[in-house]
A and B are shown apart, each in its own frame.
Chain A
């Protein structure tokens, strides 16, 4: 029984779902998410990661905010403690996967062609190219874009949204869908704050709070190392939490999604119009 294919319309109730008007038209209420097919694959991906005890993190930001540099610095800091793999999403090139592989970590590059975001199907395909057994953390580096990636669940456990200080502290207000989805906001390239007079980290955080988002905001510079310890501490805590969840056989969706999930439960059935 599921919400999308109509298999919950039985011979006993089908006449209710099927009331043609005089023009031979009948209205069927559906009320399910438009992205149901994506969400089902995403749930499958998440279950796949849970089975292998892997924490999956979706890294989102505009292009050039420092996602790959953050992954490189994280591998340098944790390569002796955690086993990491990376899925890279870009429109073209293998550049980012090559950078990650140069650190001795498995990476799979998804080139999306013209698609401006990753979706759950692409990530599912990529998962088959990575050795999940024995992994602790899977980074999914989304296509650099503050708009579209926020709408597609990939099967991650947490969303990490990067905002580099060269971009402006009003980005959470300009891209509310993206920043509302963040479980953690990283203010990156903070070594450049010294030469920027128009980025106020407090204002960036206040703009995040105005989206009713309680996510922590961590300032760091992946290149210079400042603040990396706070990010590493957050990451290690998430890995521990994921291990507890796996042991207890519970799964976690990004913070924004429980509401969406509730919506699907209450609306995700065929509403039969008499």
Chain B
């Protein structure tokens, strides 16, 4: 596995992200996008640092050409199906932190979410909110 392969993977995630952002921007008749916030868990399979590296390559020529990408890391949390405890875990040890059993359910940690988008309004849209039209 070369870093180039990984970057390819993150690049395709970036492209999917930008398509979704463009849809949000268009539906709000925004001029451009100033900030994109993602929430990513370690078990999503996407590496935040590589996504940050791929983002400037992917954003050129899109609504988000000058946008800032903010990635919020989410913790890995599991709920034990034996003792019911909710505890922290690591990516390759999703065991209950209290009783050690492996029958756990993931509460958080595999997210790959577009959390929010900050839009820069077109000037007329600023004066006239979309709701009024």
Interface 0/1 of A187-208, CB less than 8 Å to B: 0000000000000000000010
**Residues of chain A within 8 A of B43, CB atoms compared:** 176-177, 180
Contacts A/B (CB < 8 Å), 11 sampled: A25-B34, A28-B118, A30-B116, A30-B117, A116-B6, A116-B8, A147-B9, A147-B45, A151-B13, A210-B95, A273-B116
Q: Are A34 and B17 in contact (CB under 8 A)?
A: yes
Query: What's the least CB distance linking A271 to chain B, in Å?
Result: 8
Interface 0/1 of A160-194, CB less than 8 Å to B: 00000000000011101110100000000000000
Interface residues of B in 57-93 (CB under 8 A from A): 78, 91-93
Count residues of chain A with CB under 8 A from any CB of chain B. Answer: 60
Interface 0/1 of A13-34, CB less than 8 Å to B: 1111110100111111111111
**Is B115 among interface residues, defined by CB-CB distance under 8 A?**
yes
**Residues of chain A within 8 A of B106, CB atoms compared:** 212, 259
Of A6, A38, A177, which contacts B16 at CB under 8 A?
Answer: A38
**Residues of chain B within 8 A of A105, CB atoms compared:** none
Count residues of chain B with CB under 8 A from any CB of chain A. Answer: 55
Interface SS, B side: mixed
Of B8, B103, B117, B126, which contacts A24 at CB under 8 A?
Answer: B126
**Given A25-B118, A33-B113, A211-B94, does the pair A15, B130 have CB atoms closer than 8 Å?**
yes
Q: How far is B90's CA from A211's CA once the two chains are assembled, in angstroms?
A: 9
Q: Are B20 and A210 in contact (CB under 8 A)?
A: no
**Is A78 among interface residues, defined by CB-CB distance under 8 A?**
no
Q: How far is B35's CA from A150's CA once the two chains are assembled, in angstroms?
A: 28
Q: How far is B38's CA from A267's CA once the two chains are assembled, in angstroms?
A: 13
Query: What's the least CB distance linking A10 to chain B, in Å?
Result: 9
Write the residues of chain B forming the contact surface with A, with a CB cutoff of 8 angstroms: 1, 4-6, 8-9, 12-13, 16-17, 19-20, 23-24, 26-28, 30, 34-35, 38, 43-46, 78, 91-95, 102-106, 110-121, 123, 126, 129-133
Q: Are B118 and A259 in contact (CB under 8 A)?
A: no
Q: Are A29 and B116 in contact (CB under 8 A)?
A: yes
Q: Are A119 and B12 in contact (CB under 8 A)?
A: yes
Q: Are B92 and A172 in contact (CB under 8 A)?
A: yes
**Residues of chain B within 8 A of A35, CB atoms compared:** 13, 16, 112
Q: How far is B113's CA from A167's CA once the two chains are assembled, in angstroms?
A: 33
Q: Are A18 and B131 in contact (CB under 8 A)?
A: yes
Write the residues of chain A forming the contact surface with B, with a CB cutoff of 8 angstroms: 4-7, 9, 11-18, 20, 23-38, 114-117, 119, 145-148, 150-151, 172-174, 176-178, 180, 207, 209-212, 214, 256, 259-260, 263, 267, 273
Residue of A5, A148, A212 with highest tally of chain B CB at under 10 A: A212
Closest 5 pairs (CB-CB, A-B): A6-B27, A15-B131, A151-B45, A148-B9, A212-B94
Of B5, B78, B115, which contacts A148 at CB under 8 A?
Answer: B5
With A6-B24, A32-B20 known, 8 other A-B pairs at CB within 8 A are A6-B27, A7-B27, A15-B130, A15-B131, A28-B117, A30-B24, A151-B9, A172-B92
Q: Are B16 and A147 in contact (CB under 8 A)?
A: no
**Residues of chain A within 8 A of B112, CB atoms compared:** 33-35, 151
Of B8, B28, B103, B111, which contacts A115 at CB under 8 A?
Answer: B8
Q: Are B46 and A25 in contact (CB under 8 A)?
A: no
Q: Are B116 and A37 in contact (CB under 8 A)?
A: no
Q: How far is B46's CA from A198's CA once the two chains are assembled, in angstroms?
A: 31
Q: Are A173 and B113 in contact (CB under 8 A)?
A: no
Q: Are B116 and A28 in contact (CB under 8 A)?
A: yes
Query: What's the least CB distance linking B86 to chain A, in Å?
Result: 14
Query: What's the least CB distance linking B102 to chain A, in Å?
Result: 5
**Residues of chain A within 8 A of B24, CB atoms compared:** 6, 28, 30
Q: How far is B123's CA from A119's CA once the two chains are assembled, in angstroms?
A: 39
**Residues of chain B within 8 A of A117, CB atoms compared:** 9, 12
